[in-house]
Amino acid sequence: MKSYNKSQELYSKGLTHMVGSVNSPVRAFKSVGGNPLFIKNAKGSKIYDVDGNEYIDLVLSYGPMILGHGNDKVIEAVTKQVYQGFSFGASTENEIILSELICSVFNGMDKIRFVNSGTEATMSAIRLARAFTGKNKIIKFSGCYHGHGDSLLVAAGSGMVTYSLPGSAGVPENAVKDTLIAEYNNIESVKTHLSKHDDIAAVFIEPVAGNMGVVIPSDTFIKELRKITHEAGVLLVVDEVMTGFRSKFGGAQDILGIQADITCLGKVIGGGFPVGAYGARSEIMNLVSPLGNMYQAGTLSGNPVAMAAGIATLTELCEQNPYQKFNTQAEQLEKIMLDSARENNIEITVNRFGSMINPFFSKKTVTNFSDAQECDTSQFTSFFWSLLENGIYIPPSQFEAWFLSTTISDDDMNILENGIRKAMKSIRK
């Protein structure tokens, strides 16, 4: 049995001055019991806690560490920038380089604005959509999470599901009165809203949901969504904070055959540093200050260190082109989970898209938030702790995606297979 004594000590110590001893609720282990791990260091595909335990990391800081931990090219770029300066409150050439790199691989994105997080990106996208259309209402999908901005923190997935909260205290009714909820993969639920309201500015969607587990849109749903929003003069805002550069060098929307009016990004484009972005065609982005009257600002936006990390990450990612490897490894993991579950009379279904994957402990194919909520979370809890004991670190929630990195080796895949098989047996027991 692994020892977690030092993590327990730090957890107890942190309770004095930190809320729940964490700075984000998804780091807490509330849904699986026990206390969170405290991590000391990481390298490649591995992460190490303060007790010296080693794990294959399938959390990867919830997505951005696509090259694994401590990539030499990224370290070199960041180190060089650190010596040149941390932050200037002024423009740098690297902002231009990264903006050109990103816009070149997203159709319909002429200009981009860097911010500090995915939450900032989606909050800004709401304001921009309203400024462009002159309308106020937005539609989001139950189970999709777009950050903790007031108007989007309704029927959110991820941590909101974990804590069984329908919304959040401190969010006034007026903040969400213009937010309409539709069901993922149900185009009729969107059409109903469009028929009842003529003041809808935008529809927000994760092209592949990652905060109710990995949930993939049907081809007819996603393409019909693009069609009807265009016809209604409603902007389609595609939140690729999680999916951006994870299924291809660019966005998931390209694979799905759609083109967003506004795209939100984060995670990978910062290579592990805090960054977000929103981008669109010039007609829309020219409304943003200083060109237009839609105001949005940030002292640390386009931070030099984050820009250097982002450029190095995307450059290395382009050179490695790991996407076929991701698909192959995800397919192998899916087979391992399905086979080992069947051997132990456990009902699961597995969803995956590119380098994102997760099992649902349910016999039902999961296509929306309601399906996800029917999962057996007690079985997931047993699965989680057994994986941890066998050196595999996954998100401590049934409703979070797992992520693959380019550093996962054949040896790692063997460890993953053995750990998964043991974890399925532990559920049966």
Contacts of 161 (CB under 8 A, 6+ apart): 143, 212, 372, 373, 397, 399
Whole-angstrom distance, CA of residue 46 vs CA of residue 57: 5
Out of 137, 267, 393, 412, which one is annotated catalytic? 267
Collapsed DSSP state (helix, strand, coil) of residue 190: helix
239 is catalytic: yes
What does residue 79 show for φ and ψ, rounded to 5 degrees?
-60, -45
Task: From the candidates 4, 11, 57, 239, give the one annotated as an active-site residue.
Answer: 239
Q: Which helix (H) or strand (E) holds 309?
A: helix 304-320
The active-site residue, picked from 4, 11, 55, 145, is 145
Residue 90: half-sphere exposure toward Cβ, Cα within 13 Å:
2
Residue 119's nearest CA partner among 145, 139, 81, 99 is 145
Question: No. of H helices and E strands in the chain?
Answer: 15, 14
> 10 Å Cβ neighbour count for 220?
10
Residues 28-37 as b/e (b if ≥16 CB within 10 A, e otherwise) read bbbbbebbbb
In the residue annotation, 145 being an active-site residue is answered as yes
DSSP-based three-state secondary structure for 105:
coil
As given in the structure block, the two tokens for residue 13 are: 């110590």
The number of angstroms, rounded, from the C-alpha of 328 to the middle of its chain's C-alpha atoms is 21
Buried b (16+ CB within 10 A) or exposed e, 330-355: beebbebbeebbeebebebbbbbbbb
- Between the alpha carbon of residue 308 and those of residues 140, 275, 303, the distances in Å are 33, 11, 9
Per DSSP, 311 falls in state H
DSSP, res 216: P
CB contact at 8 A, 275 and 324: no
Task: Please identify every residue annotated as catalytic.
Answer: 145, 239, 267
